[in-house]
Structure 1
Amino acid sequence: MDKNQNIFSFFFVSLLLFQNANVYTWALSESKVYIVYMGARQHGDVNRITSTHNDMLTSVLGSRKAAVGSMIYSYRHGFSGFAAMMTESQAQTIANLPGVVKVMPNSVYKLQTTRTWDYLGLPYNSANTLLNDSKMGDDIIVAVLDSGVTPENEAYSDKGVGPIPSKWKGYCESGQMFDPKKNCNRKLIGARYFIDGYLAYKGQPGITTGIRDYISPRDADGHGTHTSSTAAGSPVSNVSYKGLSLGTFRGGAPRARLAIYKVGWEDGLFTDADILKGFDTAIHDGVDVISASFGANVPLYSELYPQAGAVSFGSFHAVAQGISVVAAGGNSGPAAQTVSNGEPWIITVAANTPDRAFPTPITLGNGQTLMGQSLFTGKDTGVVNLVAAQGPCESLSTNSRWITGNMVLCFTGMRGSDLEVAGFVGRARAVVRMMRGLGIIVAQKPFTSLDAYDDSFPSVQVDYETGTKILYYIVSIRDPKARLSPSKTQIGKPISSVIAKYSARGPYTINSVILKPDIAAPGTNILAAYVPENPAIPISTFQIISGTSMATPHVAGIVALLKATNPNWSPAAIKSAIVTTAWTCDPSSGQPIFNEGETMSKLADAFDYGGGIINPNKARYPGLIYDMSTADYLQCLCAMGYDSSVVSGLAGQTTACNNGISILNVNFPSITIPNLNGSVTLTRTVTNVGPVNSVYKVMVESPKGITVAVTPSTLNFSPNVKKMSFSVQISTSYGSNTGYYFGSLTWNDGVNNVKIPISVKTMY
């Protein structure tokens, strides 16, 4: 796991390296990294581009030596710009130079983690599925911008993988505990690392001393290994997490190639400078898909354009080159207006639970057995004493001597994000273990991520209702007892999917007309490759982790399969196919999809999951697509109020903004109106990618109290008519309303249901 999505890139201004020690000390304390974004490249001579960057920096810093010393990165492949160390006044000076679109300070991003492929309808070695049709993603190159890779894991085996695609221009980079000759192969074809931006952020430009990470593409955190193997890992049989979730592991596109760009470092921190260098290099190297499982915190804010950072600019130029970019929506849920990485050209991912659970039996002394959830893989506790904490789990401390020799029931009292609650749960477990307690039962609000319950210490989570039953048992008997048994793996019915509590929700604060997130995918309790517990023994290790970070590579893997089967589809076409074919009910049970949050009584809506849960096989044949080009995205920015000079800088050529364009008419595969007053009419255009002679009829599910009229109501496609536009009139007699109502618009030809979500809020 991030208003107006402006498209400037930034640069980092390097510390001035003055010969005078006093001046150097002053410069070091006053300078910081800035990104100078100069838009699209004006020519293909990369050395000349870098020289231009040095000349510009020299004109401000006063000498070529100072410019070279302060330069961190030159961005010269996918776009033009640089990162360097400089003072605020120098940054202001450079911002006024010709050719500079935007100058902004470096920002910091944070991480946002297999039954899942069967759950999504892509069983291994199956006929008539997207996996089979795409040859498992063969020759597609998936780039993963993350914390690196653990190359010895069997998930990166190149057994059965063909030659490296001829379009590949990248390479593997040597470094600490990473030898390209040993660690790269026909599967792991690229591995680079970019750390200079992070070092500057730490206040030690160019100095890696004291960095608790491998100065190489090798992963010390595990996050990058987990995400990359989920996207395109090779099959590995008999994989489990300590016996749980046993089966064959594989990534979504098991024959696709992986290119790793390590831009995340110790403490899970990513900087704009390194991220932009990752995007720039990936574009140059010839990748097909970019997966980015990190994002900014909300609220989103910067000088002119909230969240105008590395992901915004790098992703725009990638999409302009035909590269699909998939990014995590963030882990700030379940509150509304928390989604990040919401640029209109990005596929923004929410997280849902798959149809798999890890029930953990709790047997009370009266013989009653209740079920909790855990990844408890230790030994059965036997019958032990059971006590209830007098306060919330957060109040447990090493002064709580009554814990010793007992199993503890406690209730979480904290309100906050899932990650915050998980942190408090982890501390409570640590206290009980330290005080020689025999186990812990944590009662908490709906929360299915089990990251805080993943070792051999007896621990289990239950909901408040189950926790209350256990509490009543404790207070009703003189000598309460309990027994905690190891967790089991359960799949299929009656387990239904929910949108995970932690998954960030819309509406999108930067521009609520842009529906975000776009799609949901499995992100809770996902099993994938991980770093070994002992770095000196590089055995294949697998771990269960949760987050929109884990949902993102699921979508990236599916995008790789769609790229393989539809090589001429644009990133917008692939996104449309994914959104319009998504499941809006549980893939396994057919039950409604609920929204996991403060209450489980709310059905999920478009702000929870966009189009729904990704449906790979339907996305292979969507029937119709809502396509967009780079020019459409530029006009979208114009409609959002951006100056023609800014849009021109991004495009690399003069681009006039049409003042009459409405963002409501941008060809999104969704309709969101945050301020309907009376009536509004908008247009959409669909392209037929199904049978040449097709007739589609419209079906509308109007939001409550809203009238939706579509003209024409029938679309007739033929060899000469491949695209058709239609108008949608949306009206209401409501007055002001504080909330959104949801509906949908579907085109049906008897086989395909091409469905887009509608969300409307009225105002006077």
Structure 2
Amino acid sequence: MDMERTRLAQLPVDLSIMLVFLEMHMAQQLGLHLKLTWQYTKVCFGPDCPESDILAGLDAAVEDGVDVLSISLGEESTPFYNDNLAVGSFAAVQKGIFVSCAGGNSGPSMQTISNEAPWILTVGASTIDRSIRATAKLGDGQQFDGESVFQPKDFPPTLLLLVYAGSNGKQDSAFCANGSLAGVDVKGKVVLCDRGGGIARLDKGREVKNAGGAAMILANQQSDGFSTSADAHVLPATHVAYSAGLKIKAYTNSTSSPTATILFKGTVIGDPLAPIVASFSSRGPSLATPGILKPDIIGPGVNIIAAWPFPLDGSTNSKLTFNVESGTSMSCPHLSGVAALLKSAHPYWSPAAIKSAIMTTADLVNIKGTSIVDEKLTPADIFATGAGHVNPSKANDPGLVYDIAANDYIPYLCGLGYTDEQVGIIAHKTVHCTSKIPEGQLNYPSFSVTLGSSQTFTRTVTNVGEPVSYYTVKIVEPRGVSISVRPDKLYFTRVGQKATYSVTFTRSSNISNTFSQGYLQWVSRKHTVRSVISVKLI
């Protein structure tokens, strides 16, 4: 079941395509014929998403017996008993329903992640290897690749005069705010606008067009780095990186008659750095539950072809029903689709088992084989990637899973310091907090540790791979931390067999007030089961 805002109330086309290929691939592997049925519930009307409608939508999903809930909604961090999505999704998990939620679009700032409850798969956004290329070409020969969905065939490659909208020293003009270009000579020129200022990218183009501009180059702010979006602009345009914007501005200051044009090159496939974490993808650590690492996973969420119920300004086709969109609202349904396929292939897996399979098999490297990078093209940290980028094929055969029953969350919630009544709101029943556990003792597939003195946590894994198998632990220790695992080998003789191990975290240096990261892997002849680790040294 897919719950999204009105403008995203249809399944992304890329997801449909992905499901077809995954269905074929898994069917070939497993000898199964997988069929998925999608159901949609509208809970948002315009910009408003009433709490009562959200809860009603969740209740309807539980009543209808869906297997997967995809929720591209979210609010700022709040205690779970005040979070309608957390409360409603817990009821779904109690019924065996997998819940996937968008992690939010407030990145790249830290501690901006939404939908932090551990029974939810919290999804961040990454790029795919496709670019809808629009290249800014300057009069001195420099070229800067950018993106735009609008690819006019009749825009001439002739160089036009180039002007920076902020050359008058006014910030509103630099952002190409509504009415800000009235006093700027942009007629017939290529106009360079800065991203941001609370003004939508398409609205900047409208201002340039209304002021008589011929084309627009949209340059990122520093915080956005290299993250660009392919939009259905209202005029010829390209969206370029922050570094490109700086060089274009330097060029405009180097000559009295700067010129530029935009070369539209269509779809380009094969970016070796993909997937890249999107700048907008919200980051951890979690405010509501620091002992649970969030986000859980990243997936395709940039420049995704999606169904679209409104006419596009830059299109001459009034019947066009698709657009290209970016956001964790796009990556969330991709992960929901993966979860649905896993549920089809493994109908008896619990929501936590499916989540574990997705997380412990995720990729840490890109197409090139190097570490996944962020919007600055520097290695992305664990609060951006979570467990890594989803790998559906590997998730289908994880070897081991970390399972959690719905009732196992009760001692965890009590351990957060919630009252019996507050836990009861989440659990939908009367609760007495007679048992409490620290966050780190929840049988989660990752670790988030605040470390002063040494701490020991236990985990239990369930064998879902070969009946007879053994695993050896391998550890990449976070900087300043020593990790010991007991036992360091796990032996299994049957599917469904469980094994428990303990992990002790100890400081190995005097550094403090910093985060470090690593991972723990259980490795067999066939499988690698990875748990990523974040440690805050205090």
TM-score, normalised relative to structure 2: 0.89
Which residues of structure 1 form unaligned runs of 5+? 1-142, 148-220, 237-252, 415-419
Decide which of 327, 332, 336 is 1:547's aligned counterpart: 327
Decide which of 248, 271, 288 is 2:50's aligned counterpart: 271
Decide which of 211, 223, 240 is 2:8's aligned counterpart: 223
Residue 400 (structure 1) aligned with residue 173 (structure 2): no
CA distance in 2, matches of 1:235, 1:518: 21
**Offset of residue 627 of structure 1:** 0.3
User: What corresponds to 1:312 in structure 2?
Assistant: 86
Check the 8 A contact 1:226/1:530 in 2, yes or no. no
**Secondary structure of residue in 2 paired with 1:259:** coil
The amino acid of 1:473's aligned partner reads: Y
**Offset of residue 652 of structure 1:** 5.6
User: What corresponds to 1:498 in structure 2?
Assistant: 276
Q: Deviations over 1:277-319 (max 9, x none)?
A: 11111111111111100111x3x34xxx367232111100101
User: What corresponds to 1:286 in structure 2?
Assistant: 65
CA distance in 2, matches of 1:233, 1:256: 13
TM-score, normalised relative to structure 1: 0.63
User: What corresponds to 1:481 in structure 2?
Assistant: 259
**Secondary structure of residue in 2 paired with 1:225:** coil
Check the 8 A contact 2:134/2:237 in 1, yes or no. no
Check the 8 A contact 1:234/1:254 in 2, yes or no. no
The amino acid of 1:441's aligned partner reads: I
Decide which of 411, 424, 429 is 1:635's aligned counterpart: 411
Check the 8 A contact 1:584/1:592 in 2, yes or no. yes
Decide which of 389, 396, 402 is 1:620's aligned counterpart: 396
CA distance in 2, matches of 1:235, 1:722: 31
User: What corresponds to 2:473 in structure 1?
Assistant: 698
Residue 295 (structure 1) aligned with residue 295 (structure 2): no
**Offset of residue 233 of structure 1:** 7.3
User: What corresponds to 1:114 in structure 2?
Assistant: none
**Offset of residue 748 of structure 1:** 0.2
Q: Deviations over 1:683-722 (max 9, x none)?
A: 0000000001110000000000100000000001113981
**Offset of residue 529 of structure 1:** 1.8
For residues 128-167 of structure 1, the aligned pairs below 5 Å read 143-147=1-5
Number of residue equivalences:
511
Decide which of 380, 383, 386 is 2:159's aligned counterpart: 383
Q: 1:233 to 1:539 in 2, by over 3 A?
A: farther
For residues 390-469 of structure 1, the aligned pairs below 5 Å read 390=167, 391=169, 392=171, 393-394=174-175, 397-412=180-195, 414=197, 420=198, 423-445=199-221, 446-450=225-229, 453-469=231-247
The amino acid of 1:634's aligned partner reads: I
Which residues of structure 2 form unaligned runs of 5+? 21-32
Decide which of 512, 532, 535 is 1:760's aligned counterpart: 535
CA distance in 2, matches of 1:308, 1:472: 50
Q: 1:489 to 1:720 in 2, by over 3 A?
A: closer
Check the 8 A contact 1:230/1:557 in 2, yes or no. no
CA distance in 1, matches of 2:176, 2:419: 54
Q: Deviations over 1:402-452 (max 9, x none)?
A: 1112212244475xxxxx4xx25434322211111111212223253426x
Q: Deviations over 1:383-420 (max 9, x none)?
A: 21222331452266142241112212244475xxxxx4
**Secondary structure of residue in 2 paired with 1:682:** strand
**Secondary structure of residue in 2 paired with 1:699:** strand
**Offset of residue 490 of structure 1:** 1.1
Decide which of 557, 562, 571 is 2:351's aligned counterpart: 571
User: What corresponds to 2:25 in structure 1?
Assistant: none
CA distance in 2, matches of 1:649, 1:493: 47
Q: 1:262 to 1:710 in 2, by over 3 A?
A: same
User: What corresponds to 1:738 in structure 2?
Assistant: 513
Q: Deviations over 1:505-552 (max 9, x none)?
A: 000001100111111000001012221529xx9956211000000000
Check the 8 A contact 2:134/2:145 in 1, yes or no. yes
**Offset of residue 366 of structure 1:** 3.6
Check the 8 A contact 2:161/2:258 in 1, yes or no. yes
User: What corresponds to 2:112 in structure 1?
Assistant: 338
Name which of structure 1's ranges 255-264 and 386-395 shifts more when overlaid on structure 2: 386-395
Check the 8 A contact 1:743/1:759 in 2, yes or no. yes
**Secondary structure of residue in 1 paired with 2:86:** helix
CA distance in 1, matches of 2:494, 2:237: 63
Name which of structure 1's ranges 631-640 and 741-750 shifts more when overlaid on structure 2: 631-640
Q: 1:413 to 1:493 in 2, by over 3 A?
A: closer
CA distance in 2, matches of 1:490, 1:761: 41
Residue 353 (structure 1) aligned with residue 127 (structure 2): yes
Residue 589 (structure 1) aligned with residue 375 (structure 2): no
For residues 506-545 of structure 1, the aligned pairs below 5 Å read 506-533=284-311, 539=319, 541-545=321-325
Residue 557 (structure 1) aligned with residue 337 (structure 2): yes
**Secondary structure of residue in 2 paired with 1:282:** helix
Decide which of 377, 384, 403 is 1:600's aligned counterpart: 377
**Offset of residue 591 of structure 1:** 2.2
The amino acid of 1:460's aligned partner reads: T
**Secondary structure of residue in 2 paired with 1:358:** strand
Q: 1:332 to 1:710 in 2, by over 3 A?
A: same
Residue 680 (structure 1) aligned with residue 451 (structure 2): no
Larger Rg: 1
Check the 8 A contact 2:219/2:240 in 1, yes or no. yes
Check the 8 A contact 2:160/2:189 in 1, yes or no. yes
Q: 1:284 to 1:400 in 2, by over 3 A?
A: same
CA distance in 1, matches of 2:253, 2:318: 50
Q: 1:481 to 1:721 in 2, by over 3 A?
A: closer
CA distance in 1, matches of 2:74, 2:136: 38
Check the 8 A contact 2:289/2:439 in 1, yes or no. no
User: What corresponds to 2:30 in structure 1?
Assistant: none
**Offset of residue 762 of structure 1:** 1.6
The amino acid of 1:545's aligned partner reads: E
Residue 321 (structure 1) aligned with residue 99 (structure 2): no
**Secondary structure of residue in 1 paired with 2:534:** strand
Q: Deviations over 1:209-235 (max 9, x none)?
A: xxxxxxxxxxxx4311245x5555799
User: What corresponds to 1:256 in structure 2?
Assistant: 36
CA distance in 2, matches of 1:232, 1:386: 42
CA distance in 2, matches of 1:569, 1:146: 26
Check the 8 A contact 1:235/1:254 in 2, yes or no. no
Name which of structure 1's ranges 376-385 and 286-295 shifts more when overlaid on structure 2: 376-385
User: What corresponds to 1:85 in structure 2?
Assistant: none
